[in-house]
Amino acid sequence: MDPYLLDWLNLLLRWAHVVVAIAWIGSSFYFVFLDNSLTPPVDDASKARGVTGELWAVHGGGFYHPQKYMVAPPALPEKLHWFYWESYSTWLTGFALFTLLYLLQASTFLIDPAVHAWSAPAAVAAALALLVVFWFTYDVLCRTAGRGPNGDLRVGAGVALLMVVTAVVACELFAGRAAFLIVGAAMATAMSANVFVWIIPGQRKVIAQMKAGLQVDTAHGLRAKQRSVHNTYFGLPVLVAMLSNHYAFLYSAQHKAAVLVLLMAAGALIRHSFVARRRALVLGRRVPWEYAAAGVVLLTATAAWLRPAARAVSVASDAPVTLAQVQTIVEQRCVMCHNAVVQNKGVALHNVTLIQQHALAIYQQAVVLKQMPMNNATQITDDERALLRRWFEAGAAAR
């Protein structure tokens, strides 16, 4: 595919994915907030209609009064809004972007021979299988472990274990950047499948029962509630997994699976703090900030753990870096993908003029972000990155 066209497809798909994801996660956060903020209705008319909770809110110069019927209202309203296209659009745009960048360029982005050397078709099949296996395993856990007393705790523990196993497997099979993304994609697939397989079909069954004049089965509402709550807890872990591909110090860490698990756990704890806060305020109880504090502690501990060890500065490091030294590194580590014939991302580095022209990009991608070379395919060393840093910070002079 033409690189210029590929960049445009990347931009447009990523833009669309972010827009619809904001809409989906925003509505998910709002309805969880709403559920935890509801209070019993105060007027008899609302109670007689079957209203189980209500909330008065002010926003945008107006007052809002949402009410909730725990099972269903006495009669179907003429207009009923459904929340599902946000979910489906997020998954479809995300999967299209994943296909464009990772599945169709598996040899570059999905495979790291230093992690696991295999063919592109095998890696693609394994990545897709991981998404499917995660969903079915999660779904079985919800349908079996969730029964009886303490069912939610058992499901929570099972899902946490599943996430750990998925992170370990992904990091053992795929390039670090792809591994983090695949774990996030597996969780996002489960989120969207919850909507597609259980939440929306359950709501359709409730409506069908109401139209037929039958008693509404409460199981559909309870199941939809369970899966919706799971989705809101998945939200922040999925987001950090998706954002991680911009931060090589995360997915290049020696124990990257543990890093990913800690980040996702911190996200889930912080999300729970917000959920629990609203309910505590409604019930007049102490706000349990300890969950957010635990999440912050996890993040702080992870940052401290990943902090690079201080390196002794040798006398030689005081010597000015010559352009010839930089060119030698670039020719060995970069020119393979950035030359007169192959110009990935429109960048060529096969002569000193081009190296100086793209000095900022070299510094950002190879030194600061450490995203290049991709998956460190050319095995650039830390000393070489340090030399590039000194060259750029000294002004990238032509010496």
pLDDT digits (tens, 9 = 90+) for 219-269: 888 888 889 999 999 999 999 999 998 888 898 888 999 999 999 999 999
> pLDDT band at 313, cuts 50/70/90?
very low
Q: What is the per-residue pLDDT across 187-203, written as a single tens digit (0 to 9) for each? A: 999 999 999 999 999 99
375 pLDDT exceeds 90?
no
For the ranges 99-113, 223-237, 243-257, 370-384, which has the lowest average pLDDT? 370-384
Q: Which amino acid is at 26?
A: G
**Residue 369: CB atoms within 10 Å:** 13
- The token duo for 214 is 């039958």
CA distance 7 to 5: 5
Residues 121-164: pLDDT tens digits?
999 999 999 999 999 999 999 999 877 788 889 999 999 999 99
Q: What is the pLDDT of residue 2?
A: 72
3-state class (DSSP) for residue 22 = helix
Portion of the chain with pLDDT greater than 70, in percent: 96
Mean pLDDT of 97-119: 90
Q: Which residues of 234-270 are buried (b: 16+ CB within 10 A; e: fewer)?
A: bbbbbbbbbebbeebebbbbeebbbbbbbbbbbbbbb
How far apart CA 93 and CA 17 sit, in angstroms, is 5
Both tokens assigned to 137:
């395993």
The Cβ of residue 281 has, within 10 Å, a number of other Cβ atoms equal to 13
Contact 302, 259 (CB under 8 A): yes
Identify the CA nearest to 164 among candidates 186, 139, 136.
186
The chain-wide mean pLDDT, for the chain, equals 89
Largest CA distance in the chain: 86
Tell me the pLDDT tens digit for each residue of 32-88.
Answer: 999 999 999 989 899 888 899 999 999 999 999 999 988 788 888 888 888 899 999
User: Rounded mean pLDDT of 301-314?
Assistant: 75
Contact call for residues 326 and 394 (beta carbons, < 8 A): no
Sign of CA dihedral 210, 216, 220, 221: positive
- The band of 315, judged by pLDDT with boundaries at 50, 70 and 90, is very low
pLDDT on residue 5? 84
DSSP 283: H
C-alpha 292/C-alpha 299 separation (Å) is 11
Q: What is the pTM of this model?
A: 0.84
